[in-house]
Chain A
C-alpha cells in the first residue's frame, strides 16, 4: 500500500506540527512561584497528550490539504491460472442445436451451451485473464485480454447475439494469438477454440499460425461441437477432406504445441471437456490485483476535526486565576501566621 499526495510540496508545512509540541498555546497565567504547585504526574501526562493532540491536528490538516490518498495500484500476486482466449465460432450453424434444429425451449443452441459452460469455467478460475474473439467470415476481437470479470461476462453474453455468416478459422486463430501480445512471459497461454465445424486454412496462414503458436507456446484446445450427421473429429481416414475437422485436428497436432481436442455432441460432453481443461491448466501465474485510488484526505480532516473538538473541550475546561473562580472575592483580614 503506497500513499501519495496531490500536493507533496505542502508536506513541508508538516514542520508546523512541531509548534504545538514546543508551545501548546494555552493562555498562561502568571504565577509567582511554580514550586507552590505540587508536581503531578497526571497533569504532566495530560499536558503531553494535549500537545500530541494539537500536533496531530495540525499534521492531519496538512495531510488533508496536501491530498493524502492511496494510489491506484497493481498488486502482484501469484496464483493458479492462465491467460485464456476463447475463440468462438460465430457461423450460422452455431445457432442451431446439436440436432441441427432451431433451438426451442428444451434444447439450447450450441453457442448458448458453449457460452454457458465457458462462463462456468471462467467463474471457477478467479486468477485467469480472458479474452474473447469471435470469428466468422472475419474475426472480431470481442474483448482483449483482461482480468476483469464484468466485461468478460458481458462479452460472453454478447456471443448469444444472432450469428453471422461463414467460417474463417485461420484469421480467427491469428487474431486469438495476437491477444497474447504484450503479455508477461510467466502465464500459460491457452487458446480455447470452440467450433462446430472446420475449414480450410490457407497454407501461408498455416505457416504464420505455426510460427506464432510456437513463439508464444500457446496451449491449444479444440472443442469440436459435433452436430448430428457431421464427420467426427477422430476419424482415421487416411486423408480426410481438406475442410473436415479431422484435417484441422491433424494440422493442430502438427503445430508442436500442447494440444488437446474434445469432441462434444451434447452440452454434457461440453461440460466434460471444459472440466478437463480446468484441471489441465493449473500452472502458477502471476496476476495483478488492482486496487483503486482511495482518497484519505477526508479521513485526515476527520482526525483533525476530532482533535480540534477535543482541544476545544479542553479550552472550556481552562480556568482563570482569580475572580472568575466563582467565589466572590472578599478581602481577607490580615492575620499574623
Chain B
C-alpha cells in the first residue's frame, strides 16, 4: 500500500497472484488442474493399455490396435486431473494485533486474497478458517469453488480485531476439513511454544500444510539496543520491564534465530518449510517457495 493511500478495506490492496503446486495425488474426484493417479477417460493422454485391463469400448484406439503384432486391442488411457480444496487457516489470537495498523492482519488479508485468487484460477475450492481460543465462526468459510466468496471474509478480516488469548482453536481445525487431503496455508506469527506447534501440526498431519509465518520486524529485529522497555503481552496481559542493552538484544536475537531453526526443522518433518513474511507480502517469492516446495 502506498504511503499516501488512505483507502482502507479489501479493495485498497493491489491484486497479487501466487501459484502453488502439490506433490501428492488428490483423492478427490472432480475436474481440476492437479495430476492424479486416477486413470480415466478425460484428461491428459497417458498411454495405451490392453483392452482387458481397461474394458472401456469407447476408448478403443483403432490405430494402435491395428499396429499391434499380437492382435491386441488397445485402449487409450488418460490421466485424470483433479481438484483439491485450499484453505487458509489463520491464527486470529491477540498477538496478531501487534503493531500500528495491525500489519500482520493486513498481510494475512493479502495472503487470503492471493490464495483465493490462485485457488479459483486453478479450479480448486477455497476455504478460510480463523482460530483464536476456539474457531471464529463469523470468519469460517467452507471450501467452495464459487468465486467471490472470499470477498466477504476479506471485508470481515479488515474489521476484525483479534482478542483471543491463545490459539487452541487450531487444534480443532482438522474436524472441519473432511477426509480428503487438502492444501492448508497455516498463517500465524507462531509466537507459541514449539511443542504446541507440534501438536497442531500433528492434528493436521493428514493434510499438506504450508506454514506461513507472519512477523513484524519490530518484534525482534528492530528492538532498541539501549533503554527501558515496558512490554505488555498481548495475549496474557503480563507486563515486564526490560532494561535493554546490546548484550540482551544479542541474546534475544540468538534465541529467536535458534527458535526459528527448530521451528523450520519441525515443519520440514511434517512436509513443507515455513515461509516467512516480515512486514511485506511478496507474492512472487511465495510462489517460488510454493513451487519449489
Using an 8 Å CB-CB cutoff, how does the interface string of B72-115 with A read, 1 for contact, 0 for none?
00000000000000000000000111111000000000000000
Contact status A34-B285, CB under 8 Å: no
Is A46 a contact partner of B285 (Cβ separation < 8 A)?
A: no
B224 cross-chain contacts in A, Cβ below 8 A: 319-320, 325-326
Q: Is the CB of B98 within 8 A of A47?
A: no
Q: A36-B255, A43-B241 are in contact. Are A317 and B228 (CB under 8 A)?
A: yes
Query: How many residue-residue contacts, CB under 8 A, span A and B?
Result: 143
B234: Cβ under 8 A from any A Cβ: yes
Scoring A27, A40, A317, A320 by chain B CB atoms within 10 A of each residue's CB, the highest score goes to A40
The complex places the Cα of A38 from the Cα of B193 at a distance, in Å, of: 14
- Count how many chain B residues have C-beta atoms less than 8 Å from C-beta atoms of the other chain: 58
Mark contacts of A304-337 with chain B using CB atoms, 8 A cut-off: 1 yes-contact digit, 0 otherwise: 0000000000100111111001110101111111
- Residues A32 and B278 in contact, CB atoms below 8 Å apart: no
Contact with A along B191-235 (1 / 0, CB 8 A): 111000000000000000000010001111111101111111111
* Residue A204 is within 8 A (CB to CB) of chain B in the complex: no
Complex CA distance for A28 and B276, rounded to whole angstroms: 27
One digit per residue, 1 when the CB lies within 8 angstroms of any chain B CB and 0 when it does not, for chain A 6-29 equals: 000000000000000000101111
Q: Give Cα A46 to B244, complex, Å.
A: 11
When distances are taken between beta carbons in the complex, the residues of chain A under 8 Å from B263 are 337
We find that the number of chain A residues with CB closer than 8 angstroms to chain B is: 38
> Are A318 and B228 in contact, CB atoms less than 8 angstroms apart?
yes
- What CA separation (Å) do A33 and B94 show in the bound complex? 10
Which residues of B225-273 are within 8 A (CB) of A?
Answer: 226-236, 238-244, 248, 251-252, 255-256, 260, 263-264, 273
Question: Do residues B280 and A331 form an inter-chain contact, with CB atoms below 8 A?
Answer: yes
A334 contact from B100, B233, B239, B275, Cβ within 8 A? B275
Tell me if B289 counts as interface (CB < 8 A to partner A).
Answer: yes
> Judging by beta carbons under 8 Å apart, are A31 and B232 in contact?
yes
> Is A280 in the interface zone, CB < 8 Å from B?
no
Task: Check A337–B264 contact: CB distance below 8 A.
Answer: yes
Instruction: Choose among B217, B251, B260 the residue that contacts A332 (Cβ–Cβ < 8 A).
Output: B217
List the 10 closest A-B pairs by CB distance, nearest first.
A319-B227, A33-B191, A32-B95, A26-B230, A28-B232, A47-B241, A31-B231, A319-B224, A331-B280, A34-B233
Interface residues of A (CB under 8 A from B): 24, 26-38, 40, 42-43, 46-47, 50, 314, 317-322, 325-327, 329, 331-337
Excluding A46-B241, A317-B228, 5 further A-B contacts by CB distance (< 8 Å) are A31-B219, A332-B278, A332-B279, A334-B276, A337-B273
